[in-house]
Amino acid sequence: MSDDTASRLEGEKVARGLIANEYVLSVVIPTRNRVSYALGAIEQILSIDDPGLQLVIQDNGDDDSLRAACDLYLENPRFVYSHSRGTLSFVDNFTKAVGLASGEYVTIIGDDDGINPEILDVVRWARANSVSAIKPGLQAMYFWPDVGLDVTEDAGDSGVLLINPITSDVALKQTQAELDKLMRDGCQEYLQRDLVKVYHGIVRGDVLEEVQRVAGHYFGGLSPDIYAAIALSAVADDVVCIDYPLTIPGVCRTSGSADSASGRHTGRIEDAPHFVGHESYEWAPEVPEFYSVETIWADSGLAAAREMRRADLVDLFRIEYLSAFCMLRHPEYRSLVREHYFAWQRAHGRSRLQALAGLLSAQIEIPLRRALNSVCWRLTRRPRGLFQVNGVKDISAASCELTRYLASSGLDVATCISRLEESLKSPGAAR
C-alpha cells in the first residue's frame, strides 16, 4: 500500500471515528417504511447500557414517521439517525448507513432484527487480539406476530422465537478457499460458506475501507449482503467462526425472508424490487434474466468479484452449476435458463455437445451432493433439537428469551472466548 493511499485511508478512518474508537461497535440498520419494526429494534439495542455501543439508523422512508416515533432517543449520543428523502436502492441505503458509523467494528442487521448483548464481549476480545472479522452462528430466529407463515404446527401467529442447537465451537477459516467454493457453485447457498460478512457478521472498519478503496464503494450489485461477503472476503484472509448467536434475525410480514418462503421472490426480471433506485444497471451476462434469489445472488456475486478486480474468481464461476440449480429450483423457467445457457456457451466457443455435457454433469452433481449432505447431517446431528418459545411479542422480548435460554442451558459467550484464546495459541494461527 502506497504512502498516499495509506494517508488517504487514515483520513477516511478519522472521518468515520475509527481512530478515536469512541465506540467499539456500531450496529447499523438501513430501513424504509417499516416504522413499528424499526422502533422495536431501536428500543432493544439502546436498552443495552454500554458506552461502547453505537446504533445507526439510515431511514429512507417516505415521510418523517420514524423520526417522530424515535424522538425520545434523538438526544442519546450513542444514537445516530439520518433520513434520506427520495427512493434509494437497497445498495445505496446500505452504503449511506455504513458511512454514518463511527465504531471500530461494524455489524449490519435488518430493521426487524435484534442483537444478543454478549456481542460486545466478543468484539472487545476481537479488538484485543487484532481480529478483523467474526462470523457468528444464526441459531436464533424470531418470527414477529402476524408474520403470515406457518412457522411450526403449534406456534400460532403471536410471535415465535426458534433456537437451534448451539455448540459454542470456534474455528479460524481461510477465506480464499471458501470464495473458490462459492464461485464454483455459481454463488449459490452462500450462507453456508465461512465468509466475512457484515450483514449479521462483524467486521473491523478498516476492512470496509479497503473495499471502498478498491471497488469505489462499500456495496454494489443488487444484493448488498452477498456483494459485501465476497468483497470483504477478498480483503480479509481469514475469519473467526463461532457457533453461538450474537444477532437475532427477524422475520416479519414484509421481510425478504417471508417473501422467499411465500414465493414472492420469483418473477420477471423487471419486477425485482432490487432495481428500484438504480437509474441503470448492467446485469451479469452469465446469469439468466429472471427474478429469483438464485439469480440475484449470482449477479451480485459476480459484480463483487469484478469490482474487486478478482478475475481469478470470475474465471472459477460455473455457469453450468448456476443453470442446473435454477432449473431445479424454478422449473417454470427451465426453457429460459436452457436457452440462455446454450447461447452463452455458443458465444464462448463451446460446442453444443460440450455445453450439454457440462450441464448434465452439474444436474447429476447437485442431487448427489444434497444426498451426501443429508447423510452427513443425520450422522453428525446433535441430540438436542429445536427450542421454541411462543407468544413473544417483539424483538426486545425475543432478546430476553434468548438470554434466558442461554442461561438455563449453561451457555455463555465466555466459553467461545476461552476456546478462541486456545485456538490463537496454536502454531500458525492467523491474527
Q: Supply the CATH number for residue 177's domain.
A: 3.90.550.10
pLDDT of 18 over the 70 cut: no
Q: List the grid coordinates of 425.
A: 495459541
pLDDT of 15 over the 50 cut: no
Beta partners for residue 387, in sequence order:
163
Q: Which structural domain, as residue segments, surrounds residue 170?
A: 1-431
Give how many domains the chain has, as a whole number. Answer: 1
Q: What pLDDT is attached to residue 153?
A: 64
For residue 177, CA distances in Å to 13, 237, 313, 388 come to 29, 10, 11, 35
Average pLDDT over residues 216-244: 97
Q: Quick one: pLDDT band at residue 146, thresholds 50, 70, 90? A: confident
Maximum Cα–Cα distance for the chain, whole Å?
67
pLDDT of 200 over the 70 cut: yes
Pairing relationship of beta strands 140-143 and 250-251 according to DSSP bridges: parallel
Q: What pLDDT is attached to residue 348?
A: 96
Of 48, 328, 43, which Cα lies nearest the Cα of 57?
43
Contact 346/355 with Cβ under 8 angstroms? Answer: yes
Contact 323/246 with Cβ under 8 angstroms? Answer: no
pLDDT of 4 over the 60 cut: no
Beta partners for residue 133, in sequence order:
203
Contact 93/30 with Cβ under 8 angstroms? Answer: yes
Buried b / exposed e across 102-125, counting CB within 10 Å, b at 16+? bbbbbbbbbbbbbbbbbbbbbbbb
Q: Quick one: pLDDT band at residue 424, thresholds 50, 70, 90? A: confident
pLDDT of 169 over the 90 cut: yes
Average pLDDT over residues 194-223: 98
Average pLDDT over residues 106-116: 98
Q: What percent of the chain has pLDDT over 70?
A: 88
Q: What pLDDT is attached to residue 329?
A: 95
